[in-house]
């Protein structure tokens, strides 16, 4: 079937592509014309976001934390926020626009998304309170952990290490149980516990 086409489907109209083509890239590709400042962002955020994410991005209950967590990535319980972990601001704009508020997705205007993004930058101590974010200055903003990521390197290290023929007989002198799930006792129908996110 190589090289064959079937003349199926139809050409997409420009309005149809525009309606669905909402994705943003780190280099700003896809950003609509618009702007929003920190104080407008605070108003929009308090109205649409704070009930789950807290007035200052600190989160209510189990909902995601959106601010802080600096220097916790090496801790036992890292706090991953746009300020502490996310590499690109474009991801904030794209995700808020495509999927938030949770249960009311795609209800925010472009300017509201700019404003919320500006407010989240402010909550993460990355801009001053008079900051205005727009499609013009968007790519000038860099997040602290941009260089914190690297391409999957399992092929270089782990895979060779785990590709040796393993021991089959008399591999150990003794075996001890070092941890038991029943001690923790958090399997369903049991009480709640603080754990890693799924």
The DSSP bridge pattern shows strands 35-37 and 132-134 to be antiparallel
91 lines the binding site for another protein (CB under 8 A): yes
Neighbour tally for 154: CB within 10 Å? 10
Scanning residues 110 to 149, which ones bind another protein (CB under 8 A)? 148-149
State in angstroms the smallest separation of the CB of 181 from another protein: 4
* Distance of alpha carbon 96 from alpha carbon 21, whole angstroms: 15
Task: Judge contact between 138 and 31, C-beta under 8 A.
Answer: yes
Question: Looking at 46, 106, 129, 142, which residue binds another protein (CB under 8 A)?
Answer: 106
In the block, tokens 């794209």 appear at 94
Scanning residues 28 to 67, which ones bind another protein (CB under 8 A)? 61-64
Question: Looking at 69, 94, 117, 118, which residue binds another protein (CB under 8 A)?
Answer: 94
Show the tokens assigned to 103.
């249960």
Q: How many residues of this chain bind another protein (CB under 8 A)?
A: 85
Binding segment for another protein (CB under 8 A), chosen from 39-47, 103-111, 113-121, 130-138, is 103-111
By beta-carbon proximity to another protein, the closer residue of 86 and 122 is 86
Question: Looking at 49, 68, 88, 129, which residue binds another protein (CB under 8 A)?
Answer: 88
15 lines the binding site for another protein (CB under 8 A): no
157 lines the binding site for another protein (CB under 8 A): yes
Neighbour tally for 79: CB within 10 Å? 17
Whether residue 9 has a cis bond before it, omega within 30° of 0 = no
Task: Mention every residue, 6+ apart, whose C-beta is less than 8 A from residue 100.
Answer: 48, 49, 108
4 lines the binding site for another protein (CB under 8 A): yes
Q: How far does Cα 47 stand from its chain's mean position? A: 22
9 lines the binding site for another protein (CB under 8 A): yes
Task: Judge contact between 75 and 60, C-beta under 8 A.
Answer: no
By beta-carbon proximity to another protein, the closer residue of 34 and 59 is 59
5 lines the binding site for another protein (CB under 8 A): yes
Closest CA to 136 of 25, 32, 41, 38: 32
78 lines the binding site for another protein (CB under 8 A): yes
State in angstroms the smallest separation of the CB of 66 from another protein: 10
């Amino acid at each position: 079937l190589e090289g064959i086409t079937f003349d199926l489907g139809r050409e997409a109209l420009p309005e149809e592509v525009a309606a669905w083509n909402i994705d943003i890239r780190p280099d700003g590709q896809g950003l609509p014309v618009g702007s929003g400042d920190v104080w407008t962002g605070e108003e929009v955020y308090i109205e649409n976001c704070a009930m789950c994410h807290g007035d200052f991005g600190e989160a209510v209950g189990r909902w995601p934390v959106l601010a802080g967590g600096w220097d916790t990535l090496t801790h036992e319980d890292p706090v991953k926020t746009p300020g502490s972990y996310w590499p690109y601001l474009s991801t904030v704009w794209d995700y808020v626009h495509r999927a938030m508020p949770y249960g009311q997705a795609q209800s925010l205007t472009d300017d509201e998304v700019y404003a919320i993004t500006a407010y989240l930058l402010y909550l993460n101590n990355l801009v001053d309170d008079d900051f205005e974010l727009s499609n013009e200055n968007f790519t000038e903003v860099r997040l602290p952990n941009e260089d914190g990521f690297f391409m999957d390197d399992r092929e270089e290290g782990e895979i060779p290490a785990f590709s040796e023929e393993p021991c089959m007989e008399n591999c150990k002198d003794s075996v001890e149980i070092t941890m038991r799930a029943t001690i923790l006792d958090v399997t369903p129908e049991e009480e709640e516990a603080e754990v890693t996110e799924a």
